[in-house]
A and B are shown apart, each in its own frame.
Chain A
Amino acid sequence: KNEVEQSPQNLTAQEGEFITINCSYSVGISALHWLQQHPGGGIVSLFMLSSGKKKHGRLIATINIQEKHSSLHITASHPRDSAVYICAVIGLNNTDKLIFGTGTRLQVFP
């Protein structure tokens, strides 16, 4: 079993819909990251969280440390949001290395 699990694996949506991507992890962590990867492209760091909630534009990330769960929300989704969204954690007592989920592939149709 992976230490970081994401759901769903694939997600399609119509433009304007509210999107939620979930991440559960089984290890103690010092921080959790949400990353975005476009096809054939680089990786962009969206958020780093250790507690609570962060918002940037139409993106919102939340984390519940007790439940070992995080969610990434996209409000008013747009076709340019189509990408793979990756959850990654830094385990406690780890040397800052990221442990990745397998990603959620999002396609937003106009």
Chain B
Amino acid sequence: NAGVMQNPRHLVRRRGQEARLRCSPMKGHSHVYWYRQLPEEGLKFMVYLQKENIIDESGMPKERFSAEFPKEGPSILRIQQVVRGDSAAYFCASSPSSNYGYTFGSGTRLTVV
């Protein structure tokens, strides 16, 4: 079991481009969470998904950000028209069920230039 896999580890985008961040949860885990860590700040919740459903997206910025977790394949966090303020580490975590405990991925470090 390879754990939670996030790719890419590092991503550089120019302002206005799109960023796609991928997260493959652990085998058997159907709950996926995305968190963002801005430079010199703490972690903040973004979105919680189960297969084909967004359960809680209260932490997602209203514009330019979207997330999905399709029936097949990884969960995707998509940021359209990136701006410098989107530069951060984005972490994915997965869990087999509610309140069970999490396994985190290694994160994707997004730099917008």
Contacts and interface: CB of A to CB of B under 8 A. Distances in A.
Given A30-B99, A96-B31, A98-B35, A41 B106 contact: yes
Contact of B99 (A86, A88, A90, A103): A90
B107 A45 contact: no
B101 interface: yes
Interface string A1-42: 000000000000000000000000000001101010000011
B52 to A, nearest CB: 16
Contacts of A42: 91, 104-107
B113 interface: no
Interface stretch (B11-19, B41-49, B64-72, B75-83): B41-49
Given A43-B91, A90-B99, A95 B55 contact: yes
B101 A48 contact: yes
A31 B107 CA distance: 23
A96 B104 CA distance: 14
Contacts, number: 55
The size bracket of the interface on B is 20 to 34
A102 B43 CA distance: 8
Contact of A96 (B42, B58, B98, B107): B98
B42 A31 contact: no
Contacts of A31: 99
Interface in A64-110: 86, 88, 90, 95-103
Contact of A86 (B41, B42, B55, B58): B42
Contacts of A30: 99
A68 B9 CA distance: 36
